[in-house]
Amino acid sequence: MDFSQSNQRSNKKIVMEASTYLRPSWDEYFLGLMEEVGKRATCDRGRSGCIVVRGKQIVCTGYVGSPPGFPHCDDEGHLLKQVVEEDGSSRMHCMRTIHAEQNAICQAAKHGISWKDAPSSARWNPAGYARC
């Protein structure tokens, strides 16, 4: 077998291996990135991320955390407040941090980026995702 024949066999093997690869859809791609963004969160009560996308381009990102210059829950602990819901139920809410969506909006504003026509996706609980 000469080099040409060996190279052809090698190329066939590469093509066969490549054909089994499943490229993620745009939604899968952005949701995967959103998971990574959420790993930057600084409050363990709601580690989540948000990605704002326009035309398949990332406009900005945000994650749960304290505003710039303020202490983080991971460093200082939680600043909890009891919140009473409309139905009378109550829960404890961490007041030290802002939501991932709020952070993304602030990042866009800080850098003069328009939010117009840019839907966002945010992981809001362990059970699933929400489109904002």
**Active site members:** 101
Three-point CA angle 131, 97, 77, nearest 5°: 135
Place of tokens 């026509």: 117
Contact (Cβ atoms closer than 8 angstroms) between residue 32 and residue 129: no
Q: Which amino acid is at 7?
A: N
Closest among 113, 44, 37, 98 to 68, alpha carbons compared: 98
**CA-CA distance, 20 to 35, in Å (whole number)?**
25
Bridge-partner residues for 61, per DSSP?
A: 51
